[in-house]
């Protein structure tokens, strides 16, 4: 019989460590609800000790998620663990995930600790975490570069201390599949109490091997949990992509003889939600969730598909959620249909007043677009959230002419104040940004400006992603509108809001 592989999603923790991918509490809540709808087993909601913002987000998720286990990361010390336990208080199912580095390089250069001190601290951390929950996970950071003999000592000791999940991380993406899987198999065979814990894998994609290493860890090594993120989001080159490992196990069940609890039809909605919130566009040729994943341009392929889909497709697009991409809503649609679709997308506002404001925006958009897509609805909710932020756009007027400097006049809110400003620049977008900076004086550097169409057809809304850098801090802003200049101004103000919030982020890998 097929065995289950536990899916541990760390989009909200490790995924958020991508420069510019920091999320607000409400954005994390929206993603957590979608992960629960997708039937993710464990949601790593953040790193409670990293900042008050992370603590608040984990606490909020713990209050609303009921079917998935909610987890917080914690370094191997009592302060971090107690903070994680406090944030998880309201979760019906809670897990504390504690870690400490075990490679010689990390112990000597980063921790400045001896192997014996690391061993003692790891055991003490697990014992302390068990005071708050029976579900404790331990990770030997940089495990793939650690001495196997020392790993055996540490992992045997933490299992004896109460760790019931052992996560083996390839922290820097150094592993090779055949070696990675064999390493886990060897550890499990050498550690006397290895069968008292579920073994897990957490792989990074620095060499493009995260998915392959994770599958090797499961098939060869015997691990039964995979740690992954939506769209492979994560620091540096990212993490194991949830959509890829889940569909690999599902599509090749004949080979792997393993299954997950994931509702695959929710994969594409989750991908689009994470992309829209973080501003990290999904590449068209990305497996499973890329726009071209089920597209066929070759005449030979098209002919084959028309005769029998299986000739060139090993998965059905609708099985991963592509069929739910388009909705039949327009200017004549009522509030009930609008409410129902927002609920299905997991973005239904909590209050009636917020729903009414979103519905008014929907009607305004429907006057300009004959077809409304799910991505359009997601952008409406983002606009609604921006209304409550410090900066938000009220109106914009711009003009441009070949051979002349472009002009822009903006009216935008800054808290309770209404600011007006004019600016000029090399094109209307530059003029808008200059008009904003003329009164805001943020001093931020623009390091990224991208434009994507968030739906199809000539009426598609443009989605602009802005990345600003200020004093070593990086913030993303996303704006959408049928007018790309307006979308650009919205995105710039959204990025300024994140810089203005000054939320402290602590990278748990440092």
- The per-residue pLDDT for 507 is 37
Cβ neighbours for 200, distance < 8 A, ≥ 6 positions apart: 6, 8, 137, 165, 166, 167, 168, 223, 224, 225, 226, 227
Question: Using N-to-C axis directions, what is the helix angle for 177-190 and 210-219, rounded to 10°?
Answer: 40
- The per-residue pLDDT for 352 is 85
* CA–CA distances in Å: residue 347 to residues 11, 13, 32, 105, 386: 18, 21, 11, 45, 15
- The per-residue pLDDT for 510 is 33
By DSSP bridging, strand 258-259 and strand 391-399 are: unpaired
The rounded distance, in Å, linking the Cα atoms of 464 and 80 is 37
DSSP state of 373: B
Q: Are 18 and 280 in contact (CB under 8 A)?
A: yes
Q: Are 167 and 202 in contact (CB under 8 A)?
A: yes
- The per-residue pLDDT for 87 is 98
| Pick from 474, 425, 470: nearest CA to 444 | 470
| Pick from 90, 85, 87: nearest CA to 135 | 85
Indicate the helix (H) or strand (E) that contains 490. Answer: helix 484-501
Q: Are 390 and 375 in contact (CB under 8 A)?
A: no
Beta-carbon neighbour count of residue 326 at 10 Å?
14
Query: From first to last of its 510 residues, what are the pLDDT tens digits of the chain?
Result: 679 999 999 999 999 888 777 788 888 999 999 999 999 999 999 999 998 989 999 999 999 999 999 999 999 999 999 999 999 999 999 999 999 999 999 999 999 999 999 999 999 999 999 999 999 999 999 998 999 999 999 999 999 999 999 999 999 999 999 999 999 999 999 999 999 999 999 999 999 999 999 999 999 999 999 999 999 999 899 999 999 999 999 999 999 999 999 999 999 989 988 988 888 888 888 999 887 777 655 555 555 645 666 665 677 888 888 754 344 566 667 778 888 878 777 677 778 888 888 888 888 888 877 777 777 777 777 666 656 678 989 999 999 999 899 999 999 999 889 999 999 999 999 999 999 999 999 999 999 898 887 766 667 788 898 889 888 778 888 888 889 999 999 999 989 988 877 544 433 333
The rounded distance, in Å, linking the Cα atoms of 242 and 231 is 7
* CA–CA distances in Å: residue 346 to residues 130, 289, 305: 33, 19, 33
Domains in the chain, CATH or no CATH each: 3-278 (3.20.20.70), 294-325 (no CATH), 335-385 (no CATH), 389-501 (3.30.160.270)
Phi/psi of residue 13, each to 5°?
-115, -70
């Amino acid at each position: 019989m097929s065995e289950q592989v536990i899916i541990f999603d760390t989009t909200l923790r490790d995924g958020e460590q991508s420069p510019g991918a920091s999320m607000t509490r409400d954005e994390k809540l929206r993603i957590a609800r979608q992960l629960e709808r997708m039937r993710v087993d464990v949601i790593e909601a953040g790193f409670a000790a990293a900042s008050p913002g992370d603590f608040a987000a984990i606490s909020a998720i713990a209050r609303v998620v009921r079917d998935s286990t909610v987890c917080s990361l914690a370094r191997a010390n009592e302060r971090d663990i107690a903070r994680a336990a406090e944030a998880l208080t309201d979760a019906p199912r809670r897990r504390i995930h504690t870690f400490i580095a075990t490679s010689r390089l990390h112990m000597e250069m980063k921790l400045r600790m001896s192997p014996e001190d690391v061993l003692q601290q790891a055991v003490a951390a697990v014992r302390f975490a068990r005071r708050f929950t029976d579900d404790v996970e331990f990770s030997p950071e940089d495990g793939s570069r650690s001495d196997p003999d020392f790993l055996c000592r540490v992992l045997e000791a933490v299992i004896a201390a109460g760790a019931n999940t052992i996560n083996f991380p390839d922290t820097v993406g150094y592993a090779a599949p055949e070696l990675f899987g064999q390493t886990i198999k060897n550890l499990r065979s050498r550690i006397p109490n290895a069968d008292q814990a579920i073994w897990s894998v957490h792989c990074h994609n620095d060499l493009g091997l995260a998915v392959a290493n994770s599958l090797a860890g499961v098939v060869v090594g015997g691990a039964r949990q995979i740690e992954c993120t939506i769209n492979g989001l994560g620091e540096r080159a990212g993490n194991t992509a949830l959509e890829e490992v889940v569909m690999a196990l599902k599509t090749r069940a004949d080979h792997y003889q393993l299954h997950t609890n994931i509702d695959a039809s929710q994969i594409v909605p989750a991908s689009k939600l994470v992309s829209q919130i973080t501003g990290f566009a999904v590449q068209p040729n990305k497996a499973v969730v890329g726009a071209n994943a089920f597209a066929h341009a070759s005449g030979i392929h098209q002919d084959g598909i028309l005769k029998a889909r299986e000739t060139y497709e090993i998965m059905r697009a609708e099985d991963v959620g592509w069929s739910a991409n388009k909705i039949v809503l327009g200017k004549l649609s009522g509030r009930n249909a609008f409410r129902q679709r927002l609920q299905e997308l997991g973005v239904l506002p909590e209050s009636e007043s917020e729903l009414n404001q979103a519905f008014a925006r929907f009607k305004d958009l429907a006057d300009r677009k004959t077809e409304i897509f799910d991505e359009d609805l997601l952008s409406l909710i983002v606009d609604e959230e921006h209304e409550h932020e410090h900066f938000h756009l009220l109106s914009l007027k711009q003009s441009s002419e070949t051979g002349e400097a472009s002009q822009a006049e903006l009216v935008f809110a800054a808290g309770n104040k209404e600011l007006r400003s004019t600016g000029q620049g090399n094109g209307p977008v530059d003029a808008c940004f200059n008009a904003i900076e003329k009164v805001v004086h943020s001093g931020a550097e623009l390091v990224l400006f991208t434009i994507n169409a968030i739906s199809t057809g000539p009426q598609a809304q443009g989605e602009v992603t802005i990345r600003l850098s200020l004093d070593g801090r990086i913030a993303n802003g996303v704006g959408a509108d049928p007018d790309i200049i307006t979308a650009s101004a919205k995105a710039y103000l959204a990025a300024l809001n994140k810089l203005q919030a000054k939320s402290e982020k602590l990278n748990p890998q440092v």
